[in-house]
Chains A and B, each alone.
Chain A
Amino acid sequence: MSSTVIVTIISLSLLAAVSAIILYFVAQKFHVVEDPRIDDVQAALPAANCGGCGYAGCRNFAEALVAAETFDGLNCPVGGNEVMKSIAGMLGKTAGEADPSVAVLLCNGTPQYRPKTTRYDGVVSCQIQHNLYLGETNCSYGCLGDGDCVKACGFDAIMIDSETMLPVISDDKCVACGACVKSCPRHLIELRKKAKKDRKIYVACSNCDKGAVAIKACKVACIACNKCLKVCEFGAITIEKNRAYIDAKKCTFCRKCVAECSTHSIMEVNFPPRKPKVETEMLTING
């Protein structure tokens, strides 16, 4: 009895020792010399693996950061400037300041403004519908509403509004990784510079058709009437291919173009409501 116990203990110990030796040599042989800083940098990154930096994942980006001479053009949109600064400190380099941005939908063709003319019967996919025809409405440039961007978003920042049939992007959740921009077959999503209080002024239309055709398809289409171009004092507005575009970097949020736009295709978001002049006067009289 006791001999069995002893034999067992000895044989198992021997087996363990042999395995340990083999493991040790194997580990030596296959040891990969890796910069230990990569692990530290990766730990500092948000681990979203969204690909917003242009690399496949956070690990690849960490490798690129460690290998990089300067941080020019390297930016983690999810972590933002803070994360980049802390990594720069870690690696003894300086991080550039990148403007935080947010995704914005350049279409406002709700069913109310953009009547349906056909019924699409097929796979719910913007790409497939886009390859087939111009969509359920007569606008060849507008949102198809099948939600390819919703599927592409890894942060639950986009959902389709059941009333407007358009995607709604949550400013708080959006990290500007750009996945939705790539997923949209009609290139309707733009990453725009974030402003104070998430204020936004942009042309919510991408229609490149001539004004008459565009307005027939959708009541809030940009018809390239040039009114906004004339009223803008900062040269932020350009008109190309029959539609206006507001440069978020030049825009000062004066809101003059919004009032001027005859088709209401320029949107203002997160602004306090305008006080009509009459009302203001009334208030002064009363006060």
Chain B
Amino acid sequence: MIYKTSHTFPKGGIHPPEYKLTQNVPIKPLPVPKSVIIPLSQHIGAASAPVVAKGDHVKTGQVIAAANGFVSSNIHSSVSGVVSKIDTVIDASGYRQSAIFIDVQGDEWIDSIDRSVSVISEIELAPEQIIEKCRELGIVGLGGATFPSHVKLAVPKDKKCSILIINGVECEPYLTSDHRLMLEKGEETLIGIKILMKALHVEKAMVGIESNKPDAIEHLKELSKRFDGISIHSLTVKYPQGAEKQLIKTLTNREVPSGKLPIETGAVVHNVATAYAVYEAVQKNKPLIERVVTITGKSLSAPGNYLVRIGSPVNSLIEAAGGLPDDTGKIVSGGPMMGKALQNTGIPTSKGMSGIILFPASESIRGETGPCIRCAKCIAACPMNLEPHLLANASMKAMFERTESERITDCVECGSCSYTCPAGRPLLDYIRLGKSTVIKMARERNLK
């Protein structure tokens, strides 16, 4: 195995200002809100099918929607109370999606969940049982893509997984939820990594953390002495280090072939938050009903990291952080580079929401767009070594065949091109349009 000496990926990347306002704010549990809205599609794949009806009493941790197929996930109630309705709600996807509305009454948990604070480090379950547990308890990737973990852990028979990579990079500006989690729940996270290693039958795990989190690196390095096979790597700060393909390249110097999955390189990547969720599921029998969310923004009076019950509306988080500032112009779920803008504050939090960022009005409007001066800064910034200006221009002119031959589908949508463009051109907007059209065209071609 080849390890690289320089600890970052070779091509492209940018250095946006970090604004990690909340990196020293400990995680606090957010008070349970009066009512929650639990969306039925919080993961990639088919939306879950509700198994409760209006008027049903539910307990915290109870299954309220069942997975609808293999690539799907169970959803559990994050509170106890009464199902008030099953209706549609505008969620972080930007569209109306089905959701279960629950009015909170008390906080009664189902009995099978171990709510003690003791750390259990002995892994008793067999690999298949671990994967089954992840499926049953609705574990999905918490880095943002929300891919169901049991699918990712079930390595196809013809492929071999040789290494587990744990993504603690958190390369997006503002976000600190993974950073705080590694600091405060380091031991549990490492046990979670051990569990994942067992499920994947691998001996080695590499944890990649950017060097702007020295305290977390130190802490995990100290703890990892007690765990065989887990190595902690300090990486040079560069966005988008946390993108799956770039992280594999950084840590193992292997490139995921174009159009293929990371397993081609023998690596499986999981987020630190997912590792912690796996620990809680396997050792404590706790389904994925809570996650750490960073609520931040320059104009907020008390930005912080909160342990949030899934389905709590975004405004309950904003209230906890000191209330909505008057000049708020944009609310973003996720990081500022790849996150989605929210339409209102009533949107519920979901499994994939790692942070909420409030931008003042002055920072929420795009600048003027000028003509492309062909400065090639987008080419230099593209981590996939594509030509963003060309892809954007061709998409704008509806030359989709051209974009396909220029490999538009390799784009990871990291936004580095739009970020660097001195003319302020919305390159990624057009590239997304081209990419979705090309994917649609390819699908139609395959049907024929």
A: which residues have CB within 8 A of B? 117-118, 121-123, 125, 127-128, 131-134, 138, 140, 209-210, 213
Contacts and interface: CB of A to CB of B under 8 A. Distances in A.
A140 B96 CA distance: 7
A128 B436 CA distance: 10
Interface string B419-438: 00000001001101100100
A123 to B, nearest CB: 5
B426 A123 contact: yes
B429 A133 contact: no
Given A122-B426, A138-B90, A127 B95 contact: no
Contacts of A132: 94
B426 A209 contact: no
Contacts of B365: 121
A133 B288 CA distance: 27
B432 A128 contact: yes
Nearest to B89: A213
Interface of B: 87-88, 90, 93-96, 341, 343-344, 364-366, 426, 429-430, 432-433, 436
Contacts of B366: 121-122
A117 B344 contact: yes
Nearest to B343: A118
Nearest to B94: A133
Given A123-B426, A128-B432, A128-B433, A134 B95 contact: yes
Contact of B94 (A127, A134, A213): A134
Contacts of A131: 432-433, 436
Contacts of B94: 132-134
Contacts of B90: 134, 138
7 contacts: A122-B366, A122-B429, A123-B426, A127-B433, A128-B429, A134-B94, A209-B88
A151 to B, nearest CB: 10
B88 A133 contact: no
Contacts of A125: 429, 433
A123 B426 CA distance: 7
A131 B440 CA distance: 13
A10 B360 CA distance: 85
A134 B89 CA distance: 12
Contacts of A121: 364-366
Given A133-B95, A134-B343, A138-B90, 17 more contacts: A117-B343, A118-B344, A121-B364, A121-B365, A121-B366, A123-B429, A123-B430, A125-B433, A128-B433, A132-B94, A133-B94, A134-B90, A134-B94, A134-B95, A134-B96, A210-B88, A213-B88
A67 B87 CA distance: 55
Contacts of B96: 134, 140, 209, 213
B96 to A, nearest CB: 5
A179 to B, nearest CB: 12
Nearest to A118: B343
Give me the 8 closest cross-chain CB pairs, A-B, nearest first: A133-B94, A123-B429, A118-B343, A128-B433, A134-B95, A123-B426, A140-B96, A128-B429
A122 B369 CA distance: 10
A123, A138, A210 — most chain B CB neighbours (10 Å):
A123
A118 B95 CA distance: 13
Contacts of A122: 366, 426, 429
Contacts of A127: 433
A125 B426 CA distance: 12
A125 B93 CA distance: 19
A122, A128, A213 — most chain B CB neighbours (10 Å):
A128
